[in-house]
Structure formats: structure tokens, C-alpha cells
Amino acid sequence: MSYVNIGIPDKNMGTVSNSNGEFKLSVPEKNANDTLKFSIIRYLNYTATNRNIYELISLKTV
């Protein structure tokens, strides 16, 4: 989805997806088990650990 807010709550770390739904967020290893929050107005929020997101991305790009 485009223009989704993506970040780690309470860590001052985040970004917004572009018009194609793509985003880049560099997360230090020490935050690998923190929770990523995806939010967009008028939709439910989605949360997952950074490690789970990394595994999904790795599976998709292999």
C-alpha cells in the first residue's frame, strides 16, 4: 500500500512507503526483536517483530 507509516514504536525509528508501497528501513541488530508497526489512516494497524518481517522479505527475495 502506498503512504503507509512504518516504524518501531517508542524508538524514534521509522519511514513511510512510497506511491508503489516500497520502503526502506535500516534496523540495527539490537532492535531485531522489536515490533514494527504498519499504519495508515482508515485501516487497522498491523504489527510484527522485525525478525518476522526480515524472514518474510528474505523468503520473497530468494
pLDDT tens-place string over residues 3-62: 989 898 999 899 999 999 898 888 888 888 888 888 888 777 677 776 666 565 544 433
Using CB atoms within 10 A of its CB, is residue 5 exposed (0-12), middle (13-18) or buried (19+)?
middle
Q: What whole-number distance in Å separates Cα of residue 12 and Cα of residue 36?
A: 12
State residue 8 phi and psi, 5-degree precision.
Answer: -100, 115
- Centre a 10 Å sphere on the Cβ of residue 27 and count the other Cβ atoms it contains: 16
